[in-house]
A and B are shown apart, each in its own frame.
Chain A
Amino acid sequence: MNHTINTTQKTANATPLETGYNFAFLDEQTKRMVRRATLKAVAIPGYQVPFASREMPMPYGWGTGGIQLTASIIGQQDTLKVTDQGADDTTNAVSIRSFFQRTTGVATTEETNKATLIQTRHRIPEQPLTEDHILVYQVPIPEPLRWMEPRETETRKMHAHEEYGVMHVKLYEDIAHHGHIATSFDYPVQIAGRYIMSPSPIPKFDNPKMDNCPALQIFGAGREQRIYAIPPYTNVHSLDFEDHPFSVQTWDEVCGLCGAEDSYLDEIILDNEGNRMFVCSDSNYCQQRLKAGHAGAMTAPQGQPAATRTESNEENNA
């Protein structure tokens, strides 16, 4: 794994710093405004704080909320990890990481335990987070009540009065229709017994990781101009009923590469016959396990087929 880090850092050093822009792109006034909103969010866990979101050089929907949060809190001493769908080498993660390399020059890593600041889209790393981490989520729709009530003017009132009946009715109706709660990602949570909050579209598999987490978790929705937060060691309850307790996804399969039984698995269609395999969604977790000598069905003694390797690995091996 070390050589991957070296490569990444080499790239960081080789990347020329963008001139003509402030450290981390945003001007200091804007950063201060974002930090003030973030502090308010930390003070009122789960409450959506409006903030004057700026246009960023990436489109809305590409993580502009998370990018503004990261830009506002990142410092020279930070080590940044950017992950998308659990992987550090998906296109958008690569693009955001290179943006911060070009505008800050800070060290980057793919390793969860080496990072101080992790920006993520749609996943929480499998490796447990610590007090040394800040997890920044990219959020498309911050309002958990949006699918029941499209109007912001209404949902803000509902939060203010703690009127969460519609949410419980929705979950109840799911059970009545399907026998279980038919929400598999962006599964609503209640923070510190007060605000109902959208965890962003992480799979509900990740929900338990938010509860009592030692790391600060902050959420940024750029287009919707909202910031919210879960302070460290805060109670995060995934909504459920006594007779229908919350449960997470499980698989009959294990990771085809590293054999992990405890991680969120992506299903990959291998060929035209529709054969498929399952692999860890968290690429760093999977690589760490491979390094530690774990192996799955696809990484049997004959070695991994070239096609299953990522480009960056190939480069590293060369």
Chain B
Amino acid sequence: MYVAVKGGEKAIANAHQYLAAERRGDTALPELTVSQIKEQMRLAVDRVMTEGSLYDPELAALALKQARGDSIEAIFLLRAYRTTLPRFYTSAPINTSVMQITRRISAAFKDMPGGQMLGPTFDYTHRLLDFSLADENTKNNVTPPTCNEDVPATCDETPRILDFLQNDELVEGVGSAESHQVGDITREPLELPAGRDIRLQKLTRADEGFVLAMGYSTQRGFKNSGGHPFAGEIRTGDVSIEVTPEELGFPVTIGSITVTESEIVSIYDGSEETPPQFSRGYGITFGSGERKAISMALVDRALRCRELQEDIIAPAQDEEFVLMHSDNIEATGFVEHLKLPHHVDFQSELDILRRLRSNWAKCKAKREEIERNTQKEQKIRQSGTPEIKGAA
């Protein structure tokens, strides 16, 4: 019986072996390769990279394979890997204006300079199961469509639609770039109240489901002010990463990454100093994490309430609530740690509960005795004075 509460090294080793076998599944089927996951489960890979805070599609795919497809477990694997990686440089801020765009839309304007570009989106698919995909013999050798239209050669800047409005001061400015002053949540403890740089970092690696729900709540009225949010611009594409090695003194491109950026605007009523204008919310993710990027922009906007002098009345505006509960690795760890043995604390609680119950029983007995005595007294009084009853 004593053994029931103990777990030996053997038990752990066996559990690991069992897990490995379950991960592999039916050995009659060929094993899934990391490159298959990377190529064909790309959105899962993107999510793992974003929330794992490490842009490495191969490692993210490996993590997904090892985690049996569980996103949070894969994110955890990637975070635990990145945590001890040395930091050589801080890159220059990526310039998403010169992105090699694969998708770019604005919901605020019908057309815009540079054009709307749907890209590989689920948006207008009908969600009907495609049974042809289940047929392993079908060759799904689809090639991406080619562009017949006259599109200006991908090159320089693709203008940002909100910049046009900013020229008329209808949209607030984006502030100045202060790359050297940006905080780093992976190197410094979170301090509250947090600056916007810190908030955006927390939101980028925050759990997609949590950010989605928080963003959604602002749309359903759980926010203070601001009008209907509009997707000013959403763009996906490749941007290059530049670092400036000290010995060279000029920037060098070390590679490129795919990102999705979302800018949301909504009407801000203004304050004594600021005239009414569109205020901004910003979201960015690795890969094609569009749902997360839009949600993040909504939450970013809601969290700017202090800066914009809005009353804080809703959960999505509550910086401490949002930032402290958004990280799924922190959350899953603490929630799941309930699986660990707690018998020492439980023993303490049993002890307290037994005392509380015995006190309760004593009090109850006392109450009942008092009640009985009162009833007895009443009966005596009633039987002793029958004429009163008659008189009434």
Please indicate whether A and B come from the same complex rather than being unrelated chains. Answer: yes
Please state if A91 and B7 are interface contacts (CB–CB under 8 Å). Answer: yes
A266 adjacent to B5 (CB under 8 Å) = yes
Q: Contacts A59-B76, A223-B330; is A268 near B1 (CB within 8 Å)? A: yes
A262-277 contact mask (Cβ, 8 Å, vs B): 1 or 0: 0011111111000001
Interface assignment of A309: CB less than 8 Å from any CB of chain B: yes
Q: Judging by beta carbons under 8 Å apart, are A265 and B9 in contact? A: no
**Smallest beta-carbon distance B386→chain A, Å:** 44
* CB-based contact B188/A266 at 8 Å: no
CA distance A140 to B335 in the complex (A): 11
Measured between C-beta atoms, what is the minimum distance from A206 to chain B in Å?
9
B12 near A94 with CB under 8 A, answer yes
Query: Given A185-B345, A203-B344, are A249 and B5 also a contact pair (CB < 8 Å)?
Result: no
Contact A55 B9 (CB under 8 A): no
Does B97 interact with chain A (Cβ within 8 Å)?
no
Give A203's nearest chain B residue, CB to CB.
B348
Chain A residues, Cβ within 8 Å of B7: 89-91, 94
Question: B152 within 8 Å of A by Cβ?
Answer: no
Which residues of chain B have C-beta atoms less than 8 A from A183's C-beta? 352
Inter-chain contact A122/B189, CB cutoff 8 Å = no
Q: Chain A: how many interface residues by the 8 Å CB criterion?
A: 72
Q: B351 touching A249 by the CB < 8 A rule?
A: yes
Is the Cβ of A203 less than 8 Å from the Cβ of B1?
no
* A98 interfacial by beta-carbon distance below 8 Å: yes
Task: Decide yes or no: A22 and B333 within 8 Å by CB, A53-B189, A59-B76, A308-B3 being known contacts.
Answer: no
Q: Do residues B344 and A123 form an inter-chain contact, with CB atoms below 8 A?
A: yes
Minimum C-beta distance from B263 to chain A (A)? 29
Residue in B340, B347, B352 whose CB lies within 8 Å of A182:
B352
Q: Which residue of B lies closest to A84 (CB)?
A: B341
Across the interface, name the chain A residue whose C-beta is closest to B319. A153
A92 at the interface (CB under 8 A from B): yes
**B126-134, B190-198, B279-287 - interface stretch:** B190-198
What is the chain B residue whose CB lies nearest that of A123? B344
Partner of A308, one of B2, B80, B332: B2
The complex places the Cα of A281 from the Cα of B341 at a distance, in Å, of 12
Taken together as a complex, chains A and B put the C-alpha atoms of A185 and B334 apart, in Å, by 18
Chain A residues in 8 Å Cβ range of B187: 52
- Is B324 interfacial (CB 8 A cutoff)? yes
Q: Known A268-B1, A312-B8; judge A62-B343 contact (CB<8 A).
A: no
Q: Measured between alpha carbons, how far is A178 from B356 in the docked complex, in Å?
A: 7
Taking A203-B347, A225-B189, A268-B2 as known contacts, 7 extra A-B pairs with beta carbons closer than 8 A to each other, sorted by chain A number, are A52-B186, A59-B76, A94-B12, A249-B348, A266-B344, A268-B5, A309-B2
By Cβ-Cβ distance, the 9 closest A-B pairs, closest first, are: A61-B337, A60-B333, A91-B7, A184-B348, A311-B8, A59-B333, A50-B189, A55-B79, A61-B333
10 contacts between A and B (CB under 8 A): A54-B84, A92-B340, A94-B8, A183-B352, A184-B351, A203-B345, A223-B334, A311-B10, A311-B11, A312-B9
